[in-house]
Amino acid sequence: MTIETIVLREIRMRLKAPFETSFGVTQDRRILLVEVVVDGVSGWGEVTTVESPSYNSETTDTAWHIISDFIVPRLIGRNLNAAADAAALLSAIRGHQMAKAGVENAIWDAESQLKNIPLSKLLGGTLKEISCGVSLGIREDPQALVRKVEEELQSGYQRIKLKIKPGKDLEFVAAVRKEFPNIRLSVDANSAYELKDTNHLKELDQFNLLMMEQPLQWDDIHSHAKLQSQIRTAICLDECINNAAHAAAAIEMGACRIINIKLGRVGGHSSARQIHDFCQQHAFPVWCGGMLEAGVGRAHNIAMSTLPNFTLPGDVSASKRYWNEDIIEPEVEVSSRGTIKVPTTPGLGYAVKRKLVDQLTVRTRDWKAEMVAQG
Ligand code: OSB
Ligand code: MG
């Protein structure tokens, strides 16, 4: 497989509604798309950075820089046996998993098209349908949140996740739990608490939560182990787990009981699969996290979620929850049972709407193998 062309685009897309987490409010997204032409076939990837370094250390602009100046020179014109080989070629670049994932995943899409099989198959996926949950941003008051939860349950979603932060937690969770005593409910703090808040976090034990996602520092596995030993609710690590070694450390230390896998955060499909396999061997359930993706990122999440140890509903939900018009066709749709049917056509199984992407594009850069060869 020869990497013939790489095209990097930045698109702007406005979410239907602002999304508030403990680290801020997002509505106007700046998303990088990567198109890689391999043996004449176009594969697509999406970089899942947010705009500021507030979820992890990457941003849309750091990803543009790292892809342009470090990733492309290592890949353009190269001949790979498989997309899985890309990670080794990029291993000298420290960190920047989201930048790497956007490119690696585009090569996975191309490889599955070249082999004429769905990407889910190429990854080793077995599920025909995946289970979906939703992640709800912080709301003004508990009643507004209860109304939103009701709406999502009516759409069929199987699990509701509430974003929390200090001052917007117990009262909100209590109101939702009171109204819906039996639903699968979880919370996500995005690193908003500290170990000294342990007694406060213990209060959440009374709500029978499926999990509490990333309560403490984004890069601190050890403190999560101390917290997990003192609370009943299962901790799920998100921000802390960037590779399989982190997953191993977290499991060995007892820092969590569940791991959320995000393709971008862990550096792409090959790393995600390693984490998945490791967790499966240790009987730790995983689920697929989301980063407010446009259709390309969403389609990659669906393919990954077909691996057999994705046993909990993911944050992979319908295109129409986020966008007036998504950049793929068909758009991602969720059944009334809260599931997404996995595409059975080759590649991602969703076509990129090139015209729409062109309209949304604010900058673009491309590299061709011949140009590089001729200097
Ligand atoms: O922590 O899961 C998170 C969005 C942006 C950054 C971090 C997170 C999220 C979400 C949204 O929870 C999930 C989604 O609907 O895509
Ligand atoms: Mg999270």
Instruction: Check residue 364 and give its pLDDT.
Output: 98
Going from the Cα of 214 to the center of ligand 2, the distance in angstroms, rounded, reads 6
Whether ligand 1 lies within 6 angstroms of the CB of 56 is answered as no
Instruction: Check residue 373 and give its pLDDT.
Output: 54
**Protein residues placing their CB within 5 Å of the ion ligand 2:** 188, 213, 238
**374 pLDDT higher than 80:** no
Whether ligand 1 lies within 6 angstroms of the CB of 332 is answered as no
Q: Per residue in 10-57, pLDDT tens?
A: 999 999 999 999 999 999 999 999 999 999 999 999 999 999 999 999
Distance from C-alpha of 113 to C-alpha of 291, rounded to nearest angstrom: 25
Read off the pLDDT band of 371 (50, 70, 90).
low
Q: Per residue in 237-252, pLDDT tens?
A: 999 999 999 999 999 9
CA 348 to chain centroid, in Å, comes to: 16
Q: Per residue in 196-236, pLDDT tens?
A: 999 999 999 999 999 999 999 999 999 999 999 999 999 99
Mean pLDDT of 174-194: 98
Instruction: Check residue 370 and give its pLDDT.
Output: 80
What percentage of the chain has pLDDT greater than the value 70? 99
Ligand positioned closest to the Cα atom of 161 = 1
**372 pLDDT higher than 90:** no
Give 163: exposed, middle or buried? Use CB within 10 Å, 0-12, 13-18, 19+.
buried
Contact 259, 228 (CB under 8 A): no
**320 pLDDT higher than 90:** yes
Residue 150 in tokens: 């009701």
- Length of the chain, in residues: 375
CA 108 to chain centroid, in Å, comes to: 16
What is the DSSP pairing of strand 3-21 with strand 24-38? antiparallel
Cα 200 to Cα 113, 136, 137, 195, 365: the distances in Å are 51, 22, 21, 10, 49
Q: Per residue in 95-151, pLDDT tens?
A: 999 999 999 999 999 999 999 999 999 999 999 999 999 999 999 999 999 999 999
Going from the Cα of 177 to the center of ligand 2, the distance in angstroms, rounded, reads 20
| Residue labelled with tokens 């979880």 | 186
Whose C-alpha lies nearest to ligand 1, atom 6? 291
Instruction: Check residue 209 and give its pLDDT.
Output: 98
**287 pLDDT higher than 90:** yes
**Residues belonging to the active site:** 163, 262
Mean pLDDT of the chain: 97
The whole-model pTM stands at 0.97
Read off the pLDDT band of 375 (50, 70, 90).
very low
